[in-house]
């Protein structure tokens, strides 16, 4: 990676970039091998204990991808009772659907599928195209997270299993490549300016409610994959054997739109090839050499020209693009998310409220101690 595809990248005197340094810092915070096992076992026990007398121990979002599939397998092996959640935005591949079906067959976990209103979601996606911003996936990523929260509350589930892990996903994607995934203000602002339909059914929660969830610790996110030796190549072979999992050819390529977005739109319009970051993380974790990564980068983002043409035509037709309108989009100037109303205005208000409340809470605490009367 360099400052052409990541303008914010910083190299130290030894030529090591900030992403690798962030990875090393995060790696040091992880438990050692013995402590990992202890943390893993204690987390499993906690989930079982807190799920007692409830229908489920935890909730897990599934896409048919590697991480969520293996996490479902692992949870089943450890006797957890999971509620699986899938958010269908109209772009699932046949392979992703089959992979999810295989998970259910092998684990007997319940599945709750939330189907987004296609015409409404399509209009939101088109708004992001018209806004010319980089993170066109923001609406779906937000909807998935909020759906998880809403379903967890509905079934009184406190614990959420997360497939995020350091050794295959790293700590933070370059800031210029993505936008803050819980920025409902940005989604609403962009859709208000460019959308043609009212946002009626799209899953959303006020930022204030989200902050309340965080402050009151309504949900506890468990990253079990950080507490095991997680080798992606070995895990792929295991879930193929145990769950009949089928490889779809790329990270997050279980979605047709994501495959087209990451495989064509990002490299061609925004000069971003996410494989650079994904492979760099695998290099940092010792699962790939630089030489192997360079060889992989020589390959096209699409496994075949036929698949690219098929996706290209499908995406254009499904979103209502003509050949000329899509070409116009690809050649148009790029705009930043911050050019539209975003979550920053909320955070300013939030920190102001917190700065006022903290002294008040401190005074109430002193009064309580002095009077010894509960307040």
Task: Transcribe 70-94 into DSSP letters.
Answer: HHHHHHHHTT--EEEEEEE-S-B-H
The Cβ of residue 316 has, within 10 Å, a number of other Cβ atoms equal to 15
Q: What is d(CA 148, CA 152) in angstroms, rounded to the nearest whole number?
A: 6
Average pLDDT over residues 324-343: 96
Please tell me what DSSP assigns to residue 109: -
Average pLDDT over residues 107-135: 97
Question: Residue 181: phi, psi to the nearest 5?
Answer: -75, -10
Q: Quick one: tokens of 161?
A: 């299993």
Sign of the four-CA dihedral 26, 22, 257, 306? negative
Per-residue pLDDT at 328: 97
Please tell me what DSSP assigns to residue 333: P
Q: Quick one: tokens of 142?
A: 């937000």
Q: Is the pLDDT of residue 141 over 60?
A: yes
Q: What is d(CA 193, CA 145) in angstroms, rounded to the nearest whole number?
A: 24
Domain boundaries, the chain: 18-341, 343-375
Q: What is d(CA 279, CA 297) in angstroms, rounded to the nearest whole number?
A: 9
Q: Is the pLDDT of residue 369 over 90?
A: no
pTM value surpassing 0.85: yes
Q: Is the pLDDT of residue 27 over 50?
A: yes
Q: Quick one: tokens of 143?
A: 């909807």
Contact between residue 264 and residue 301 where contact means Cβ atoms under 8 Å apart: yes
Q: Is the pLDDT of residue 96 over 80?
A: yes
Q: What is d(CA 108, CA 180) in angstroms, rounded to the nearest whole number?
A: 35
Average pLDDT over residues 59-81: 94
Per-residue pLDDT at 361: 67
Confidence of residue 356 (pLDDT cuts 50, 70, 90): confident
Sort strands 82-88 and 220-222 into parallel, antiparallel or unpaired: unpaired
Q: Which CATH number fits domain 18-341: 3.30.56.10, 3.30.460.20, 2.60.40.10, 3.40.50.620?
A: 3.40.50.620
Average pLDDT over residues 173-177: 93
Per-residue pLDDT at 7: 92
Q: Is the pLDDT of residue 368 over 80?
A: no
For the stretch 42-65, pLDDT in tens is 999 999 999 999 999 999 999 888
Which position has the higher pLDDT, 114 or 356? 114
* Range name among 179-193, 319-333, 337-351 with the lowest pLDDT average: 337-351
Per-residue pLDDT at 375: 44
Residue 49: is it exposed, middle or buried by C-beta count within 10 angstroms (0-12/13-18/19+)? Answer: exposed
For the stretch 178-232, pLDDT in tens is 999 999 999 999 999 999 999 999 999 998 888 888 878 889 999 999 999 999 9
Confidence of residue 235 (pLDDT cuts 50, 70, 90): very high
Q: Is the pLDDT of residue 331 over 60?
A: yes
Contact between residue 285 and residue 166 where contact means Cβ atoms under 8 Å apart: yes
Q: What percent of the chain has pLDDT over 90?
A: 77
């Amino acid at each position: 990676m360099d400052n052409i595809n990541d303008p914010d990248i910083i190299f130290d005197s030894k030529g090591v970039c900030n992403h690798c340094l962030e990875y090393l810092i995060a790696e040091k915070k992880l438990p050692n091998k013995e402590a990992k096992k202890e943390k893993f076992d204690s987390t499993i026990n906690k989930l079982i204990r807190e799920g007692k007398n409830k229908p489920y121990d935890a909730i897990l979002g599934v896409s048919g991808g590697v991480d969520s599939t293996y996490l479902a397998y692992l949870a089943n092996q450890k006797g957890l009772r999971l509620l699986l959640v899938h958010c269908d935005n109209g772009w699932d591949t046949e392979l992703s659907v089959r992979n999810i079906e295989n998970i259910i067959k092998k684990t007997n976990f319940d599945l709750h599928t939330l189907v987004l209103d296609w015409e409404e979601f399509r209009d939101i996606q088109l708004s992001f195209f018209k806004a010319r911003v980089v993170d066109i996936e923001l609406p779906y990523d937000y909807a998935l997270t909020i759906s998880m929260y809403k379903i967890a509350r509905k079934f009184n589930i406190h614990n959420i299993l997360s497939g995020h892990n350091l050794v295959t996903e790293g700590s933070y994607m370059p800031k210029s490549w993505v936008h803050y995934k819980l920025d409902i203000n940005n989604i609403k602002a962009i859709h208000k300016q460019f959308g043609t339909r009212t946002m009626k059914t799209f899953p959303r929660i006020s930022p204030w409610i989200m902050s309340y969830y965080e402050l009151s610790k309504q949900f506890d996110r468990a990253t079990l994959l950080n507490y095991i030796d997680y080798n992606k190549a070995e895990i792929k072979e295991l879930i193929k054997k145990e769950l009949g999992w089928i490889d779809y050819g790329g990270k997050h390529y279980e979605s047709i739109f994501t495959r087209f977005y990451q495989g064509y739109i990002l490299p061609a319009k925004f000069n971003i090839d996410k494989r650079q970051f994904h492979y760099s993380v695998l290099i940092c974790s010792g699962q790939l050499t630089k030489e192997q990564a360079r060889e992989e980068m020589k390959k096209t983002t699409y496994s075949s020209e036929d698949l690219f043409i098929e996706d290209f035509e499908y995406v254009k037709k499904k979103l209502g693009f003509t050949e000329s309108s899509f070409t116009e989009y690809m050649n148009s100037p790029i705009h930043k998310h911050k050019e539209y109303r975003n979550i920053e205005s909320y955070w300013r208000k939030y920190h102001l409220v917190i700065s006022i409340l903290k002294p008040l809470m401190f005074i109430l605490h002193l009064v309580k101690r002095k009077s010894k009367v509960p307040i």
